[in-house]
Chains A and B, each alone.
Chain A
């Protein structure tokens, strides 16, 4: 038989039509020589005469497979290295960060609405960012630790915090933040005056008579001054403080940026009188850039008038020299002074410029605060969810159990379906799992990504979708084996086709994930994120692990020869060799619709009946209702070449 085989090889390779009078039992045992020769190995052969003829193509494939594996190992090693670095330097933990529904806590979704006459308008992104900033300060000020405030789809604000917030905190979050301009009466450093240095309240003269204007020191009562001295700007602001800022009375307030505190007169101009604010490079009186930045402020008609009067008074106080800080006015946002400039001129046209040693960022920030003040926002709680920590960890445990069960079932099924080839699926899933774990943990560290229950569900669902890439690939390989290719050739060809399919289908998955992520709200985002992440991890694994492993496995005796339980057994797959007894070759396109047994019988019949006759006839009936004459299936030995 071995001798016969050798004799066949040149005939089939040469592509000439070449007949043998005797149809021997080799019909199904004979390797597809056309393929085998081209790929450097001879195919499966029961007599074990398989002889390797390594060619540069196969060797190159194996070497690029090894390179791919090394690349994957490098990617994993780098990710793991970063994580180990993070953990050892105590910057992050081993576990991914968990979202509120798994960790327990409260989540509030706030929807901001513009107040007053602008209530119908949409909220700009800048407004929203300002609102987030204000809420963050309020929540921090209320002493709630680890609160997280984010925006959602450019419309809502999500406040997540551990535990259950008190009703005060809840109210605090909902109240609208107002901006106001108040004149400064007294200012000083932000620290509380030490107890023993405080002024005796009795030594402060209780003011007599009504204050003449909002800058009048008569606003400073004993009580107010005592509060001023006791005020410590570095301490968290007590919640009552904000409530005790009536519009028409003097107040105490802090400027956290410059760490100073003030006694301020009643509101002169409400923030809503601001028409617009911007920032630009500051110029001196000659019009040259000074290098710093300035904030330009424009009032509306009403504001222009009031500001004119305010500037006249404050400028006048500044000229007197004896009036301390009373030539300054404070811009107060949500109870805190954001800026307290000195009035350097009388401004009659409502166009004020605030200069100082602003950097561009500071100027931008202040102008955005002023714009925010022009359109104050109030919040209503759209939804609120409270999840206890025990329920959260319970849900996480259940999610993980579900994942493990699902994983185990998928593993069992693929072993069933693909025999030992199923191990490749399992190994690939493990690698995909490792990559996903590293990505999620690192994203938790770097981008504060938090895994939610929907995200866990996304991961579990992804097991199936990831495994599907391997199914597509394996089925393609099997198709190629069925068409009569040797196993290394089938891996090669199957990959070229499967790769396209996998790329196209994963592109659809990624598209869905990206669209969901950018359009959707809340939980949907977490889910979309994990779906997208796992799709990428899947692609990475298929290209850098599954395929290279298959290339290398195809070179082993066990898989390369299609051993019985390898999952690639040509006999079990009913492979039709490219060279089919009776001296005829067939194209891999064609199935002749017969089982091995049928073919054997057919071959035997023909051998006895018409030794030199042409093809066995067959009746493939594609589509169930059409008969196709097999005469059409004439030898096309070169079809192998045209395919390439």
Chain B
């Protein structure tokens, strides 16, 4: 496997194998845009997201180490508690039952807690209660949005300074927004619950997506340096700007694959542990959004950031001129016949 990937990397590096991320940018960007539109439409059609109680307000009880996960026991316990209704009892993991109700006051919380202990035959330590006022989630959301805005502005500036072109900033940010919208769309489509932990995950995904774009763009910058003003080495000048961008993306493809695998492995193990052994909770919510986001983020760099960047640059007269020169040069000289058929 290693050898094959190394050979794959060799071929990508030399340009022998090449995926047309840039050449087919029209279709890629169109597909991406369509996905964004769909991701925006899904929550509209489905009537929003599956918001956790942190956003809607309410009380939540988690009973762990239960011998039976019969939800009717929990429902009965809620029914017996005066004032508690709107119960949703779910079996979220082996041996774990979650009971959600509307917001209870202190007495009701204690009563229901006791009833749940009795119903499932567990000790006080096995019942966890959580109560959230409806304003809490609003606060979290507002802060998260502020964080997003501040981060985007600062990241735009940072990258524009580093890469010396705002077009890279804009492309990377576009890929990041794509990532976040698609991830949110997946959440809405599957009906995953959105909790503050999931929001943390989303915010991390932003950083991951940009991080990924920066690594790839760094190679792009290297490959395209001096291309437009003609100061690049001769070998490089024989490729058009778009081709150089594409080569850079292909050359870093092995890294992109390795990075997402290495990123996914720990996240996947948290997800597995979180979802199958602990049930819903911080670990699962966080790792699920990261899991989806890392995959989408890596794809976004390849299919959104790089194509968008080359498109933005191709509109510059200098870049157009360079492309025209290269193509002219190519058609002017008959391509040499290669002795061996070379797979493309």
Interface residues, chain A, CB within 8 Å of chain B? Answer: 101, 109, 111, 153, 155-156, 167, 170, 380-391, 394-395, 398-399, 401-403, 405-407, 409-410, 413-414, 416-417, 419, 453-454, 457, 460-461, 463-465, 467-468, 471-472, 475, 478-479, 482, 497, 500-501, 504-505, 507-509, 511-513, 515-516, 519-524, 527, 531, 572-574, 576, 587, 589-594, 598, 601-602, 605, 616-634, 636, 639, 642
Contact = CB atoms under 8 A, between A and B. Distances in A.
A626 B239 contact: yes
Contacts of B136: 109, 382-383
Interface in B1-31: 1-3, 5-7, 9-10, 13-16, 18-20, 22-23
B340 A413 contact: no
Contact of A155 (B64, B139, B239, B283): B139
A630 B270 contact: no
Contacts of A387: 128
B94 to A, nearest CB: 13
A471 B256 CA distance: 9
Given A405-B269, A405-B273, A627-B330, 5 more contacts: A402-B283, A461-B204, A497-B218, A505-B214, A629-B330
Given A512-B151, A521-B140, A621-B18, A475 B64 contact: no
B184 interface: no
A380 B64 CA distance: 29
Contacts, number: 347
B292 to A, nearest CB: 14
A623 B131 contact: no
B306 to A, nearest CB: 12
B298 to A, nearest CB: 11
Given A394-B64, A471-B255, A602 B339 contact: yes
A401 B135 CA distance: 35
Contacts of A639: 233
B282 A523 contact: yes
Given A454-B286, A520-B144, A464 B264 contact: yes
Interface of B: 1-3, 5-7, 9-10, 13-16, 18-20, 22-23, 54, 62, 64, 106-107, 110, 124-133, 135-136, 139-140, 143-144, 146-147, 150-151, 154-155, 158-159, 162, 196-197, 199-200, 203-204, 206-208, 210-211, 214-215, 218-219, 222, 233-236, 238-240, 242-244, 246-247, 251-252, 254-255, 258-259, 261-270, 272-274, 277-278, 281-283, 286-287, 290, 330, 333, 335-340, 342, 344
B274 to A, nearest CB: 7
B16 A593 contact: yes
A515 B126 contact: no
A516 B261 contact: no
Contacts of B287: 457, 461
Contact of B18 (A386, A513, A622): A622
Contacts of A616: 339
A491 to B, nearest CB: 17
30 contacts: A111-B139, A153-B139, A167-B106, A170-B106, A380-B133, A398-B273, A398-B274, A399-B283, A402-B273, A403-B269, A414-B262, A460-B266, A460-B269, A461-B267, A461-B290, A463-B262, A468-B259, A475-B255, A478-B9, A500-B218, A508-B159, A508-B214, A515-B151, A524-B203, A574-B7, A587-B235, A593-B16, A593-B342, A623-B246, A636-B234
B13 A623 contact: no
A63 to B, nearest CB: 29
Nearest to B135: A382
Nearest to A164: B124
A406 B155 contact: no
A520 B203 contact: yes
B23 A623 contact: yes
A505 B235 contact: no
B203 A511 contact: no
A395 B189 CA distance: 29
Given A383-B131, A383-B133, A617-B338, A523 B200 contact: yes
A598 B207 CA distance: 43
Nearest to A574: B10
A353 to B, nearest CB: 41
Contacts of B258: 413, 417, 468, 471, 475
Contact of A505 (B10, B23, B211, B263): B211
B333 A629 contact: yes
B324 to A, nearest CB: 14
Nearest to A468: B259
Contact of B243 (A390, A403, A576, A626): A626
A539 B272 CA distance: 29
Contacts of A593: 14-16, 342
Given A413-B265, A471-B259, A593-B342, A504 B214 contact: yes
Top 9 A-B pairs, shortest CB-CB distance: A406-B266, A591-B14, A512-B207, A464-B263, A574-B10, A519-B147, A388-B125, A627-B335, A405-B269
A395 B283 contact: yes
Contacts of A386: 128-130
Given A391-B64, A501-B218, A403 B266 contact: yes
Contacts of A382: 132-133, 135-136, 139
| Residue of A394, A460, A594 with most partner-chain B CB within 10 A | A460
Contacts of A381: 131, 133
Contacts of B215: 468, 472, 501, 505
Contacts of A390: 125-126
Given A620-B15, A623-B243, A629-B335, A156 B154 contact: no
A589 B262 contact: no
A464 B23 CA distance: 31
B269 A409 contact: yes
A633 to B, nearest CB: 6
Contacts of A576: 14
A623 B336 contact: no
A617 B283 contact: no
A498 to B, nearest CB: 9
A508 B235 contact: no
Given A386-B130, A410-B265, A591 B238 contact: no
